[in-house]
Structure 1
Amino acid sequence: MKTRREFLRSTLLGASATWTVPMFVERTFADLHVGAKDLATQAVTGKDGTILVVLQLAGGNDGLNTLIPYGDDAYHKARPRIGKKDKEIIKLSDYAALNASMPHMEKMFKEGNLGIVQGVGYPNPNRSHFVSTSIWETADTTNRSSTGWIGRYFDNACSGADPTVGISLNKTQPEAFGALKNPGVCLSSPELYRWIHGGGEKAQAEEFFASLNSPEDDDNPADGASIAMSAGGKVGGVQGESNLAFLERVAMDARVSSAKILELASKYRTKVNYEGTPIARSLNMVSRLIAGGMPTRVYYVSHGGFDTHNQQVNSHDRLLGQLDSALKSFFADLKEQGNAERVVLMTFSEFGRRVNENASAGTDHGRASCLFVAGEGVKGGFYGKYPSLTDLDQGDLKHTVDFRGVYASVLEGWLKTKSNPVLKGDFPTLPIIG
């Protein structure tokens, strides 16, 4: 029989179960009630502290049709059907251009608030969604770490902080939040505060990944019973209370606590219009929690649907357009609040796509890609070198920037903490934080 700690770990609730949802939410709201002066005394999660938003482009974003090497003949030869023409791009240099679906990101780039990191990847890359996502979220290329890079940041730099130091608006608690002491909390949707089980065994991981990262919004997440069964059925024997009963009780407490978080979020009224897409709603919720004074240092959101094997053009352009619109609203909202200087947003995707288009007018799993770092605290421009489109590794781009160097840059430059204990090594940083 599993212990409750083992059960919680298997359901991605993190390695520690020393507190329950109502306790820390009550404490958070008690702190918020006494006012901003008291929040400011929290050394690592103060109301005036810097905030990082991590935005996952789930499914493997095609970097070649996001940051387009339009000045390279090899690009047009490799993609005769899906390659972007001049009318479909926004030129940023004589070589690279943004997808035309991203006009606001062009504006941020010109204003110096968007850093574009080219050729991001890692040594000996893996084309599995599950494995590569795990590598990015743990910052461990051996895929052996039991904790996530953000969770290690919580453990090393935010010791003793409120569990709401990290909030994920995702269908599951991200592996990046895995921690020994404080794994943060998970809002599975903007309407409900609930822990969700993280899936089946690794043999089922690819199917699970696809369901998690579909572009459709999930308004009806699994209830406590189905969650427990997906973990392998009823697993009792914990001091008279089954793990199923425990999970159901925690879920009920979480629903009660959700009202308190939503009460705080509802107090903020914005004049900024957000589209009705899942990514826009998630960033809207983040902006409300920031405006409400949550002592959160890291927010995590996901934008799914980037596994574009078939008929890529329309779906990929649509996803990038949704991203662009959501970022436009989010940063306008932060500026209206007076919080724009506090927030930096970083994107990531588990891998890029192959250089050559496939027979289905799509692209298959590749390796290196691009990522974005955005906000008023960013020193905009290009970072890294665009990989060669002819000197390839089995048809894939060779990475020119190790993603852990980007993490190190954000940790040291923005979150003001040493990156070595978090990343378990030293990686060259980029001067991307202004």
Structure 2
Amino acid sequence: MRSHRRDFLKSSLAASTLVSMGSTTVPAFLARSAQAANARANDRVLVVVQLIGGNDGLNTVVPHGLDGYAKSRRVLRLPAGQIQTINKEVGLHPAMGGMAKLLEAGRLAVVQGVGYPNPDRSHFRSMEIWESARREEGALETGWIGRAIDAMPHPGGRDTPALHVGSRVLPLALKAKHSEAPSLESLEQYRLQLAGNAGDQRTMREALDQVARLDRAVDDPLLGFMRRSTLTAYDSSKRLEQVIKPATDKSQYPNYGLARRLELIAQIVKAGLGTRIFYTALDGFDTHANQLGTHAALLTELSDSIAAFQKDLATSGQADRVALLTFSEFGRRVAENASGGTDHGAAAPLFVVGPVKSAGLIGAHPSLEDLEDGDLKHHTDFRRVYASLLDAWLECPSAQTVGPGFEPLPLFRSV
């Protein structure tokens, strides 16, 4: 046993001195994920896209045929002839052609009138409510996804069920008590890099292959732990390299930040690393002034990025196992302001993309005449949407995550 252990330690330490991971060591999530990859390659995946700033729902899902829209939106009114039609009264913003095609393909559900009772118009507080699925104030230690991943079965405790993609600090939504959701901005952060010249790299790979052949019957706990950590990181790196090469050579994604983040998520999904929930964001929706151009650009990025993501998944045969949710901390006021923008509001629509049960509108559009302090009244609590994603999609009981009494919506078809 001593000779095996000595040889392995020598190989592992030598390899570790040649591993470069940017600013970090070989991340634990790669080591954990590869262990479960084969067993969980067909699990359903959820991608959450947060629209930061408070998206103007009225100019996203546009009630152009309803009384009150033209009266409240003189500067910001979108011409009915340019709207991407959903029905005779409601349509998508003209910039959302990609999402309109997903709607035609039966891949997009629009949940209208989403919010919560006694809405808060503070960015920080409303984001806290949406991300935690809790109304109590004070120090909140966990988010709704964090509680969900704590409740999920983790094969051997070694996979990483959730991953944050972006440069923000870890969102509250992903904070858990017993699990850790890493953050990354690029796959280069997590690829196993064997430094040195070609000969050095070949030597290290041979050392890792030799480690794989060691007699497992004589392993002690330290030896077993080091072998698993090294080999699973190496295996994950090889999986990622196989997926990265074709995607990097000829990307089909538009040149947007959100598109690149979704491309990265698609690469990880296709690599089969076992992660079930991905979280990313698009910022800039706090449109208090000169909204028309800014909002159109944001919705173009959102729509084109999601459309490219769906096309990528469909091409690789992964589309029916991935659902995508968009949400924002609140909508905007019905009436435009004097600066050609909109102020903080309440209820708004959200999107669910994937194998939805019924494409199109879910729920009636809130009245534009019967307002609450100038805002749309919600009729669907956002926690019902979360309950749908947890119970029906991820097969994770929602009551312990969002609380009891939130009946799931019939969002998904059987796949």
Give the Cα–Cα distance (whole angstroms) in 2 for the partners of residues 55 and 298 of structure 1.
11
Task: Provide the secondary structure at the position in 1 that maps to 2:247.
Answer: coil
RMSD: 2.4
Corresponding position: 1:358 with 2:337: yes
Q: Tell me the residue number matched to 1:162.
A: 158
- Higher relative CO (Cα under 8 Å, sequence separation at least 6) belongs to 2
**Conserved in 1, the CA contact under 8 Å of 2:240 and 2:271?**
no
Q: Tell me the residue number matched to 1:50.
A: 44
Give the Cα–Cα distance (whole angstroms) in 2 for the partners of residues 366 and 122 of structure 1.
12
Corresponding position: 1:113 with 2:107: yes
Task: Provide the secondary structure at the position in 2 that maps to 1:393.
Answer: coil
* Pairs within 5 Å for 1:315-354: 315-354=294-333
Give the Cα–Cα distance (whole angstroms) in 1 for the partners of residues 146 and 243 of structure 2.
25
**Conserved in 2, the CA contact under 8 Å of 1:122 and 1:141?**
no
Give the Cα–Cα distance (whole angstroms) in 1 for the partners of residues 239 and 332 of structure 2.
39
Give the Cα–Cα distance (whole angstroms) in 2 for the partners of residues 111 and 72 of structure 1.
26
Task: Provide the secondary structure at the position in 1 that maps to 2:68.
Answer: helix
Q: Tell me the residue number matched to 2:398.
A: 419
Query: Which residues of structure 1 form unaligned runs of 5+?
Result: 1-19, 32-37, 195-255
**Conserved in 1, the CA contact under 8 Å of 2:65 and 2:89?**
yes
**Conserved in 1, the CA contact under 8 Å of 2:109 and 2:356?**
no
Give the Cα–Cα distance (whole angstroms) in 2 for the partners of residues 75 and 312 of structure 1.
16
Task: Provide the secondary structure at the position in 2 that maps to 1:371.
Answer: strand
Q: 2:347 aligns with which of 352, 368, 371?
A: 368
Moved more, 374-383 or 363-372: 374-383
* Pairs within 5 Å for 1:232-247: none
Q: 1:185 aligns with which of 182, 193, 204?
A: 182
Q: 2:266 aligns with which of 287, 294, 312?
A: 287
Q: Quickly say closer, same or farther: Cα 1:308–1:261, change in 2 above 3 A.
A: farther
Q: Quickly say closer, same or farther: Cα 1:151–1:73, change in 2 above 3 A.
A: same
Give the Cα–Cα distance (whole angstroms) in 1 for the partners of residues 187 and 56 of structure 2.
28
Q: 2:65 aligns with which of 67, 71, 77?
A: 71
Give the Cα–Cα distance (whole angstroms) in 1 for the partners of residues 151 and 189 of structure 2.
29
Q: Tell me the residue number matched to 1:228.
A: none
The alignment-based identity, stated in percent, is: 42
Give the Cα–Cα distance (whole angstroms) in 1 for the partners of residues 188 and 62 of structure 2.
37
**Conserved in 2, the CA contact under 8 Å of 1:419 and 1:426?**
no
Q: Tell me the residue number matched to 1:275.
A: 254
CA displacement at 1:22 relative to structure 2:
3.3
**Conserved in 1, the CA contact under 8 Å of 2:34 and 2:159?**
no
Q: Quickly say closer, same or farther: Cα 1:427–1:358, change in 2 above 3 A.
A: same
Task: Provide the secondary structure at the position in 2 that maps to 1:115.
Answer: strand
Moved more, 331-340 or 371-380: 371-380
**Conserved in 1, the CA contact under 8 Å of 2:34 and 2:273?**
no
Corresponding position: 1:148 with 2:127: no
Letter in 1 for 2:146: G
Q: Quickly say closer, same or farther: Cα 1:317–1:146, change in 2 above 3 A.
A: same
* Pairs within 5 Å for 1:301-320: 301-320=280-299
**Conserved in 2, the CA contact under 8 Å of 1:166 and 1:297?**
yes
CA displacement at 1:151 relative to structure 2:
0.4
Q: Quickly say closer, same or farther: Cα 1:311–1:403, change in 2 above 3 A.
A: same
Give the Cα–Cα distance (whole angstroms) in 2 for the partners of residues 23 and 272 of structure 1.
26
Q: Tell me the residue number matched to 1:431.
A: 410
CA displacement at 1:425 relative to structure 2:
1.9
Q: Structure 1, residues 22-80: CA drift from partner, whole Å, max 9, x if none?
A: 3624523653xxxxxx6333xxxx11100000001111000000000101231111010
Give the Cα–Cα distance (whole angstroms) in 2 for the partners of residues 163 and 143 of structure 1.
32
Letter in 1 for 2:97: P
Corresponding position: 1:27 with 2:25: no
CA displacement at 1:325 relative to structure 2:
0.8
CA displacement at 1:259 relative to structure 2:
7.5
Q: Quickly say closer, same or farther: Cα 1:348–1:26, change in 2 above 3 A.
A: closer
CA displacement at 1:110 relative to structure 2:
2.1
Letter in 2 for 1:64: L
Letter in 1 for 2:144: W
The alignment covers a number of residue pairs equal to 344
Q: Quickly say closer, same or farther: Cα 1:268–1:76, change in 2 above 3 A.
A: same
CA displacement at 1:189 relative to structure 2:
4.6
Q: 1:139 aligns with which of 133, 144, 155?
A: 133
**Conserved in 2, the CA contact under 8 Å of 1:352 and 1:368?**
yes
Give the Cα–Cα distance (whole angstroms) in 1 for the partners of residues 74 and 150 of structure 2.
49
